[in-house]
């Protein structure tokens, strides 16, 4: 298709953001809310591309972002969701409150991808000429990784049928950031919003059936619904400088192991139901 770049890039700053730029962006969004990214830099006094501003906000400055290491529970959920959804990072992120698609993508590529590769190698050693299961992505090069079915995390989900629908944009819920900082209302994490008018792929239909898991998984999930999220004492400097809590110091919420299992079971059941329906439709067509 092709289209003109979003910004002329002439006279625009690139590279790492400075604290001053962050301050400008945060203050502007707090005052005016998210959106209108194209005009935002000019209005906020930033020499940045609108896309860059959006990315900085979505991936780093949003007050509801949870920083720190991915917990084992989160990792487990990422792996399971990846086995079901493939590289649809925004959908996966939508099920991990406070985590961004970029963060999950990076985590997968640097941590889980490697582990997966090792698992795959072990599987191949253990099952010579083995199963017809779809093998996971070859991540020796990222280009190979692209467009490959991804599945097979250990034995647990070895036989899971993987749908890898074409990546597509889905509409977020209406956002008015200055009214609410609800973590699930971010662009990258509201993939299941009710604004979907386009063609939803199979999995999104499945996912639509699932309840919003945030409050189920994370105790005190309502904690970040206020304009000021829970802060650690160490973030006091950031607060005084920026007027918002330092996302780096936000207190992470505990997770529930059994709830994760329950979620996964729900996915499996819904997939089964979906597959049954597909078979039924196919039989009618024959």
Question: At closest approach, how far in Å is the CB of 231 from DNA?
Answer: 19
- Judged by CB, which is closer to DNA: 102, or 268? 102
Question: At closest approach, how far in Å is the CB of 172 from DNA?
Answer: 5
Write the DSSP string, the chain: -----SS--TT---SSPPHHHHHHHHHHHHHH-S--TTTHHHHHT--S-HHHHHHHIIIII-TT---SPPPHHHHHHHHHHHHHH-S-HHHHHHTSTT--HHHHHHHIIIIIHHHHHHHHHHHHHHSTT---PPP----SSHHHHTT------TTTTTT-----PPP---PPPP--TTT---GGGSGGG-TT-TT--S---HHHHHHHHSPP-HHHHSTTGGGGGSSS----GGGHHHHHHHSS--GGGPPPPP--HHHHHHHHHHHHHHHHHHHHHHHHHHHHH-
Do the beta carbons of residue 89 and residue 207 sit within 8 Å? no
Phi and psi at residue 250, to the nearest 5°: -65, 145
- Judged by CB, which is closer to DNA: 37, or 264? 37
Residue 99 binds DNA (CB under 7 A): no
Between residue 187 and residue 246, which ones bind DNA under the rule CB under 7 A?
Answer: 187-188, 191, 195-199
- Judged by CB, which is closer to DNA: 105, or 256? 105
Residue 14 binds DNA (CB under 7 A): yes
- Judged by CB, which is closer to DNA: 87, or 224? 87
- Judged by CB, which is closer to DNA: 152, or 170? 170
Between residue 52 and residue 91, which ones bind DNA under the rule CB under 7 A?
Answer: 52, 54-56, 59-60, 87-91
- Segment near DNA (CB under 7 A), from 49-57, 151-159, 203-211, 259-267? 49-57
- Judged by CB, which is closer to DNA: 119, or 196? 196
Question: At closest approach, how far in Å is the CB of 258 from DNA?
Answer: 28
Between residue 138 and residue 177, which ones bind DNA under the rule CB under 7 A?
Answer: 142-143, 145-147, 166-172, 175
Question: At closest approach, how far in Å is the CB of 284 from DNA?
Answer: 27
Do the beta carbons of residue 205 and residue 218 sit within 8 Å? no
Question: At closest approach, how far in Å is the CB of 250 from DNA?
Answer: 14
- Segment near DNA (CB under 7 A), from 14-22, 118-126, 202-210, 229-237? 14-22
d(CA 137, CA 149): 6
* Binding residues vs DNA (CB under 7 A): 1-6, 9, 13-17, 35-39, 48-52, 54-56, 59-60, 87-91, 101-103, 105-107, 109-111, 114, 142-143, 145-147, 166-172, 175, 187-188, 191, 195-199
């Amino acid at each position: 298709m092709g289209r003109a770049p979003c910004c002329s890039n002439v006279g625009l700053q690139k590279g790492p953001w400075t604290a001053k730029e962050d301050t400008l962006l945060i203050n502007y969004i707090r005052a005016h809310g998210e959106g209108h990214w194209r005009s935002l830099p000019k209005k906020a006094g930033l020499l940045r591309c609108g896309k860059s501003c959006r990315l900085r906000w979505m991936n780093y400055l949003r007050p509801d972002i949870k920083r720190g290491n991915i917990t084992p529970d989160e990792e487990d959920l990422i792996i399971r969701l990846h086995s079901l959804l493939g590289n649809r990072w925004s959908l996966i992120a939508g099920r991990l409150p406070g985590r961004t698609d970029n963060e999950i993508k990076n985590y997968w590529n640097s941590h889980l991808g490697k582990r997966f590769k090792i698992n795959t190698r072990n599987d191949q050693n253990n099952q010579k000429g083995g199963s017809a299961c779809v093998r996971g992505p070859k991540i020796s090069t990222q280009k190979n990784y692209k467009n490959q079915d991804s599945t097979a995390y250990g034995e647990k989900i070895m036989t899971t049928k993987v749908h890898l629908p074409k990546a597509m944009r889905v509409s977020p819920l209406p956002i008015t950031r200055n009214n609410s900082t609800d973590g699930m209302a971010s662009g990258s994490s509201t993939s299941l919003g009710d604004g979907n008018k386009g063609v939803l792929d199979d999995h999104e239909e499945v996912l639509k059936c699932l309840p919003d898991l945030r409050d189920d998984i994370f105790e005190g999930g309502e904690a970040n619904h206020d304009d000021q999220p829970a802060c650690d004492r160490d973030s006091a400097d950031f607060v005084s400088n920026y007027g918002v809590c330092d996302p780096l110091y936000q207190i992470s919420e505990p997770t529930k192991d059994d709830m994760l299992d329950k979620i996964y079971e729900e996915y499996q059941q819904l997939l089964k139901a979906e597959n049954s329906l597909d078979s039924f439709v196919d039989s009618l067509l024959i």
